[in-house]
Amino acid sequence: MEKEKYILISIISSDEQEIIASLDELARLIDTAGGMECGRIMQRLPHPDPKYYLGSGKIEELRLEIEMKDADGVVCDDELSPVQMYTLTKELGVKVIDRTIVILDIFAAHASTKEGKIQVELAQLKYRASHVSGLGKMLSRQGGGIGTRGPGETKLESDRRMIRHRMGQLSRQIREMESVRQTGRKKRIRNLATVIAIVGYTNAGKSTLLNALTGAGVLAEDKLFATLDPTTRALDLPEGMQVLLTDTVGFIHKLPHQLIEAFHSTLEEAQYADIILHVIDASDTDWELHRKVVYDTLSELGITGKPVITAFNKTDLATEEILRDTAASKQVTISAKNKYGLDELITAISDTIKDMQTLIKMLIPYQETAFVGRVRQMGQVIKEEYLEEGIRLEAYVPPSIAKEYGTWHRNFS
Ligand SMILES: Nc1nc2c(ncn2[C@@H]2O[C@H](COP(=O)(O)OP(=O)(O)OP(=O)(O)O)[C@@H](O)[C@H]2O)c(=O)[nH]1
Ligand SMILES: [Mg+2]
């Protein structure tokens, strides 16, 4: 099948270099979705035109470009309003889509689990719902007459009803799956392992790193959004301590809010983590911009105040001399693919856990020896004395045990 050809369009309202980088990324997204770029049109404008997105003069140029390149469609780097989409389609006579539609399309193609598929469908419906209602308003504002008669408005009304009904169904299913996951999470908390979430820009090498560290065998590809579903694997640290590593969906510049909402429970995995492992593709010339997108998305998800270890990855390809992430508590340079720098990364993880440990001093009744076992397994025992009233224990323990100790202490003291 021949690839669909698209003209990329964007207004330049800020730094031109950033817009060009964003369009380069849009071209990669189109490529991942199975199409190709055949040209681009940019226009310096402070705000998008409410009706045409580009200025009306530029539309003529766009029309010529479509004809010349024999393009199948136009893709806008910003999310188009229903009105813009409607007028552009009418004016140009080709398919008009936007960045959000492309990303949703990729997610739909890559979703493999039941939960992933439901989350994507919900995100797509949210997008459609907002655009259907916009279209309805636009038609009713015209106050009847040619173009508004016939099945139009009733069709929109029934579409809206169907979409709402299906969205309700999907949200319920997501909530049910979320409660199953919560149970899993509680079990893990009971196991008291330190949880590390691998986060980063899409294609940074997160899955490759999880595979290199744990032999997880998850899919890693030179593709945007290869991973949609979280995978958790255990990693044994040299001191005998075990941590859990979770690989999850990548972030991107202008990640559609519908996806953030629908994938909230998946993205939440990072909220329950003790440590954030931030993977940066150091061979990407835009890594600094991507770094910012990752931190912005994390704070949008309410994930702040956790220790961050930054792993500058793909250093086998990187040419830049200075790699620094000032927001990280520790940083290392690695190549996940060539398994370079992994020992330093593991040391950074161990050190971070040690930094997070607290000293507990307690007298444990003999009927609570299971707790002593957990302290021995997860922490470092400094002093252990067997007295008549119980076991006197002094130990450095990770946050999870300290938390348990806190509640336990209240119960028993
Ligand atoms: N040269 C080089 N390539 C790497 C390295 N690490 C990962 N890659 C490649 O980068 C591409 C993306 O890797 P993934 O591990 O799928 O990236 P990801 O961050 O999981 O991406 P998404 O799940 O799509 O967000 C793959 O083609 C990897 O082989 C590295 O250290 N050096
Ligand atoms: Mg991945």
- What pLDDT is stored for residue 137 in this prediction? 47
- CB distance 251 to 294 below 8 Å: yes
- What pLDDT is stored for residue 271 in this prediction? 84
> Does any ligand 1 atom lie closer than 6 A to the CB of residue 248?
no
CA–CA separation, 123 vs 261, rounded Å? 8
CA–CA separation, 257 vs 267, rounded Å? 13
CA–CA separation, 228 vs 116, rounded Å? 7
- What pLDDT is stored for residue 186 in this prediction? 64
Ligand nearest to the CA of 211: 1
**Banded pLDDT at 145 (limits 50, 70, 90):** very low
Average predicted confidence (pLDDT) for the chain = 86
Q: Is the pLDDT of residue 191 over 70?
A: no
Q: What is the pLDDT of residues 88-122, one digit of tens each?
A: 999 999 999 999 999 999 998 888 888 888 988 99
> Does any ligand 1 atom lie closer than 6 A to the CB of residue 316?
yes
CA–CA separation, 206 vs 313, rounded Å? 9
Look-up of token digits 């770029």: 37
- What pLDDT is stored for residue 225 in this prediction? 86
Choice from 28, 203, 248, 280 to test ligand 1 binding pocket (greatest atom count within 8 A of CB) = 203
CA–CA separation, 194 vs 187, rounded Å? 13
- What pLDDT is stored for residue 187 in this prediction? 61
- What pLDDT is stored for residue 226 in this prediction? 85
- What pLDDT is stored for residue 405 in this prediction? 74
- CB distance 291 to 325 below 8 Å: yes
> 372: how many CB neighbours lie within 10 A of its CB?
18
> Does any ligand 1 atom lie closer than 6 A to the CB of residue 336?
yes
> Does any ligand 1 atom lie closer than 6 A to the CB of residue 60?
no
Which residue puts its alpha carbon closest to atom 32 of ligand 1? 314
Structure tokens at 309: 């270890």
- CB distance 225 to 32 below 8 Å: yes
Q: Is the pLDDT of residue 148 over 60?
A: no
Q: What is the pLDDT of residues 37-53, one digit of tens each?
A: 999 999 999 999 999 99
For residue 124, the Cα-to-chain-centroid distance in whole angstroms is 17
Q: Is the pLDDT of residue 62 over 90?
A: yes
For residue 277, what is the DSSP state?
E
Atom of ligand 1 nearest to the CA of 338: 31
- What pLDDT is stored for residue 361 in this prediction? 87
> Does any ligand 1 atom lie closer than 6 A to the CB of residue 202?
yes
Helices (H) and strands (E) in the chain, counts: 13, 13
CA–CA separation, 157 vs 160, rounded Å? 5
> Does any ligand 1 atom lie closer than 6 A to the CB of residue 224?
yes
Across the range 173-197, mean pLDDT stands at 74
Ligand nearest to the CA of 199: 1
Q: Which of 370, 345, 375 is nearest to 357 (CA)?
A: 375
Structure tokens at 272: 């329950």
Alpha carbon of 169 to ligand 1 centroid (Å): 36
CA–CA separation, 229 vs 113, rounded Å? 7
Q: What is the pLDDT of residues 15-40, one digit of tens each?
A: 999 999 999 999 999 999 999 999 99
| Ion ligand 2 nearby residues (CB, 5 A) | 206-207, 226-227
Q: Is 205 left (phi over 0), alpha (psi -120 to 50) or beta?
A: left
Q: Is the pLDDT of residue 370 over 90?
A: no
Which of 13-22, 103-112, 166-175, 365-374 bottoms out in mean pLDDT, i.e. has the lowest?
365-374
Structure tokens at 150: 């016939």
DSSP string, 68-82: HHT-SEEEESSPPPH
- CB distance 348 to 279 below 8 Å: no
> Does any ligand 1 atom lie closer than 6 A to the CB of residue 221?
yes
Across the range 402-408, mean pLDDT stands at 72
Q: What is the pLDDT of residues 221-273, one digit of tens each?
A: 888 888 888 888 999 888 777 789 999 889 999 988 888 888 877 777 788 89
**Banded pLDDT at 153 (limits 50, 70, 90):** low
Q: Is the pLDDT of residue 164 over 80?
A: yes
Q: What is the pLDDT of residues 264-297, one digit of tens each?
A: 777 777 888 999 999 999 999 999 999 999 999 9
Q: Which residues pair with 95 in a beta bridge?
A: 73
- What pLDDT is stored for residue 100 in this prediction? 93
Q: What is the pLDDT of residues 303-346, one digit of tens each?
A: 999 999 999 999 999 887 789 999 999 999 999 999 999 999 99
Q: Is the pLDDT of residue 159 over 80?
A: no
What pTM value is reported for the model?
Answer: 0.84
Across the range 147-153, mean pLDDT stands at 47
